[in-house]
Amino acid sequence: MGIFDRLQLPGGSVIKNRIAKAAMEENMADVDQAPSEALIRLYQAWAEGEAGLLISGNVMIDGRAMTGPGGVVLEDDRHLDRFKRWAQVGRAKHAQFWLQLNHPGRQMPASLGQSTWAPSAVAMDLGKMSRHFNPPLAMTESRIEEVIQRFARAAQLAEQAGFTGVQIHAAHGYLISQFLSPLTNQRDDQWGGSLENRARLLLEVIKAVRAEVSPRFVVAVKLNSADFQRGGFSADDARQVVEMLNTLPVDLVEMSGGSYEAPAMQGVARDGRTLAREAYFLEFARDIRAVARMPVMVTGGIRRLEVAETVVAHGVDMVGIGTALAIEPDLPRQWQQARNVIPELPPITWKNKALASVANMAVVKFQLRRLSKGQTPKPAVSPIRALIAQQMSTVLRARQYRRWVQARQQV
């Protein structure tokens, strides 16, 4: 099995090779929170790069619940024509194109001016940066049921728009991940307590989504291999959740890890563990592959051809690549042409790990903005410059979002 071999998924659809453009949050919605021309141009670059699978950044199922300003929202068919164009461009080179559906839970910036909901009223712990997130309210039963139906509706709309699948985001400390973790889920009803109860939201979302889409439409899940926080969602929990997913029509599970509080997806663990520079979660993915009945994908720092080949050689079905494709969008095609290209960003070694994590994301988004304008990426950009540019953009987009909210309320 090699990275340029095809992969057939349980539902019958086929991915043309084993390389996936993993999700990166773009924050490039237009003033209507729909896909912008810049976002579409960005995905045209990735489509031309010949990855077998493109997974979008966060697409929000509820316009009141955003991972950040500038996020794309899919909750009704008002802008379905924009989504159709996005899907058409992303699939131009016969790649699979999945929308990553998400709800942030408590990981929503306070600057957006919305109430924050979570499994339990457990505030973010980011030291001085905690002030950027409002303390959450514990979700009611009716609000949980509404979230489930919103995931299902968004998936239905995604299929109508021409995407080939959706990925349910249950990782990185967002809402479903919050339900899975005993640190953030302190409920004593059917949605909390035992792992079976904590996994209930994920399972019910998958069932609701599958009921609204066709059998060949892909339903995938992004799951933490662990929270990398003491007392949080563990690797053993992840194995048990995958065993639960085995009973459902899930086409693929992507393994990642961490949250805003412990950004292991960037190679940083809060519980003291050191993560490898590349393929952070390969060991976890191999363990999951031993129990999973569906294909498994691993994402986290992969930037070299030999590492990608090692991942597949170890039995993992798909290789997810994020940052490297922000630097070299045509990396899959170059690898297939035997060009030994190794995209890399200079490491940010600031003492403040939370700020370094934010700066790292800003540097990646700097590359995405350049690609969206048809420009060449600049991997060596100053993290401070990228962070300032990102903060300015965030302020402007937050204002844009609040105006959008106000306009909706006046309708």
Rounded Cα–Cα distance for residues 339 and 359 (Å): 30
The first and second tokens of residue 295, run together, are 């294909």
The model's pLDDT over 92-121, given as tens digits with 9 standing for 90+, comes to: 999 999 999 999 999 999 999 999 999 999
* Domain layout of the chain by residue ranges: 7-346
- Residue 231: Cβ within 10 Å count: 10
Using left for φ > 0, alpha for ψ between -120 and 50, and beta otherwise, residue 318 falls in beta
Rounded Cα–Cα distance for residues 37 and 31 (Å): 11
The first and second tokens of residue 91, run together, are 């699939």
The model's pLDDT over 382-403, given as tens digits with 9 standing for 90+, comes to: 999 999 999 999 999 999 999 9
Reduce the DSSP state of residue 244 to 3 states and report it.
helix
Which of 166, 137, 136 is CA-nearest to residue 60?
166
Residue 131 is given by DSSP the state G
User: What residues have CB less than 8 Å from 306, skipping those under 6 apart?
Assistant: none
pLDDT band (50, 70, 90) for residue 280: low
Q: According to the model, what pLDDT value does residue 354 have?
A: 75
Q: According to the model, what pLDDT value does residue 130 have?
A: 77
Q: According to the model, what pLDDT value does residue 191 have?
A: 98
- 352, pLDDT greater than 90: no
The model's pLDDT over 49-74, given as tens digits with 9 standing for 90+, comes to: 999 999 999 999 999 999 999 999 99
Residue 29 is given by DSSP the state B
CATH superfamily, domain 7-346, is: Aldolase class I (3.20.20.70)
Q: What are the distances in angstroms from CA 46 to CA 43, 306, 369?
A: 5, 21, 13
Q: Which of 236-250, 269-283, 365-379 has the lowest mean pLDDT?
A: 269-283
Burial class (CB within 10 angstroms; exposed 0-12, middle 13-18, buried 19+) of 174: buried
Show the CA angle centred on residue 116, arms to residues 111 and 119, nearest 5°: 150
Rounded Cα–Cα distance for residues 199 and 55 (Å): 23
Query: Could you give phi then psi for residue 277, rounded to 5 degrees?
Result: -70, -35
Q: What are the distances in angstroms from CA 393 to CA 23, 325, 396, 400?
A: 20, 22, 5, 10
- 128, pLDDT greater than 90: no
- Under a CB-based contact definition with an 8 Å cutoff, are residues 41 and 85 in contact? no
The first and second tokens of residue 379, run together, are 């991997």
Q: In the block, which residue shows the tokens 């099995």?
A: 1
Query: Could you give phi then psi for residue 168, rounded to 5 degrees?
Result: -85, 120
The model's pLDDT over 138-191, given as tens digits with 9 standing for 90+, comes to: 999 999 999 999 999 999 999 999 999 999 999 999 999 999 999 999 999 999
Which of 325, 366, 359 is CA-nearest to residue 343?
325
